Amino acid sequence: MRRGSKQTPPDAAKLALNTATTREKWTLAQAIEGCARHGIRGIAPWRDQLKAMGVNRAARAVRAHGLVVTGLCRGGMFPASNVRERKRRITDNLRAIDQAYALGARCLVLVVGGLPPGSRDLAGAREQVAAGIAAILPHARDARIPLAIEPLHPMYAADRACINTLAQALDVCDALDAEKSGALGVVVDVYHVWWDPDLEAGIRRAGEKRLLAYHICDWLVPTADLLYDRGMMGDGVIDLPGIRSWLERAGYTGLHEVEIFSAAKWWKRDPDEVLRVCCKRHHRYC
């Protein structure tokens, strides 16, 4: 479905906040209170903020404010140049699963990692990713915390994520969870996948069982910084209504999680203002 085609407006109760959007001015405790204040139903914390607040305190605050934890950011970063470091990263991911369980999170988001230092072996890095996910999947199953692979834009293949398309992420899911148990799936982050000519087919292939999270923002033209210059919904070129329609047709019923890294603009503004704009833009553009 293309821009300009008729769309039904999104449900306001579907909005969630990824705390990256407000992290420069708000602690996790402040973000939890801010979501409740603005009627935002869901929240996705980052682990550094979670550590600062304390897992148990954060879990109590989330429950007290009636929020849904759409995901915990992040696990992953599996590839490493030696066995000892790979084992350390596995241990950290097991800890992240326990944290997600304590929060009642709907998934643990996996940003899988890129090339180990000095390496040019992209295929080998992807093999390490699959092996790392296989190593933590039994613990995730036991904890009933789905693992959500987030493909990142190809510009991040070297340093952040060597899984760059929805199809690549789903290939890993097929290899490790062929029965589609719900234990392993994907994140559709529009910033990273909007450009993919096979995106609609990938969303349809993922289906209800593997569509675990949906992250929204916009791609600015021009983009001043490829990491810290994401746009607010409606300020860029992504066909947000079209992508939402593909997800809904594929069976996705989860929340729409705003995740904006914006050093020059949104991180400098009052977070209450940012959340007000998020609510308005979600209704108008998403």
Q: Are 206 and 166 in contact (CB under 8 A)?
A: yes
CA distances in angstroms from 102 to 2, 45, 57, 72, 108, listed in the order given: 41, 13, 10, 11, 12
With H, G, I as helix, E, B as strand and everything else as coil, classify residue 260: coil
- Residue 105 CA to residue 214 CA, distance in Å, equals 14
- Residue 73 CA to residue 217 CA, distance in Å, equals 17
Which residues lie closer than 8 Å to 111 by C-beta, 6 or more apart?
73, 74, 75, 76, 77, 150, 152, 160, 161
Q: What is the pLDDT of residues 171-183, one digit of tens each?
A: 999 999 999 999 9
Give the pLDDT of residue 229. Answer: 98
Which residues lie closer than 8 Å to 197 by C-beta, 6 or more apart?
none
Write out the DSSP string of 183-204: SEEEEEEHHHHTT-TTHHHHHH
- Residue 271 CA to residue 201 CA, distance in Å, equals 36
- Name all domains of the chain by residue range, CATH numbers in brackets: 12-285 (3.20.20.150)
Q: What is the pTM of this model?
A: 0.95
Q: Which residue has the tokens 């929020």?
A: 67
Give the pLDDT of residue 39. Answer: 96
- Residue 59 CA to residue 22 CA, distance in Å, equals 19
Give the pLDDT of residue 5. Answer: 43
Q: Are 125 and 132 in contact (CB under 8 A)?
A: no
The radius of gyration of the chain from alpha carbons, rounded to an integer in Å, stands at 18
Give the pLDDT of residue 1. Answer: 39
Q: Are 8 and 271 in contact (CB under 8 A)?
A: no
Give the pLDDT of residue 4. Answer: 41
Q: Which residue has the tokens 């940003």?
A: 111
CB atoms within 10 A of CB 5: 10
- Residue 283 CA to residue 233 CA, distance in Å, equals 10
Give the pLDDT of residue 3. Answer: 42
Which residues lie closer than 8 Å to 113 by C-beta, 6 or more apart?
76, 77, 78, 79, 89, 125, 128, 129, 160, 161, 162
Q: What is the pLDDT of residues 153-199, one digit of tens each?
A: 999 999 999 999 999 999 999 999 999 999 999 999 999 999 999 99
Q: Count the helix, strand and coil residues of the chain and give each as a percent rounded to the nearest 5.
A: 45, 15, 40
**Helix H or strand E encompassing 72:** strand 72-76
Q: Which residue has the tokens 């729409």?
A: 256
pLDDT, mean of each 10-residue run, the chain (286 residues):
48 90 98 97 98 98 98 98 98 98 98 97 98 98 98 98 98 98 98 98 98 98 97 98 98 98 98 98 94
With H, G, I as helix, E, B as strand and everything else as coil, classify residue 16: strand
Give the pLDDT of residue 10. Answer: 60
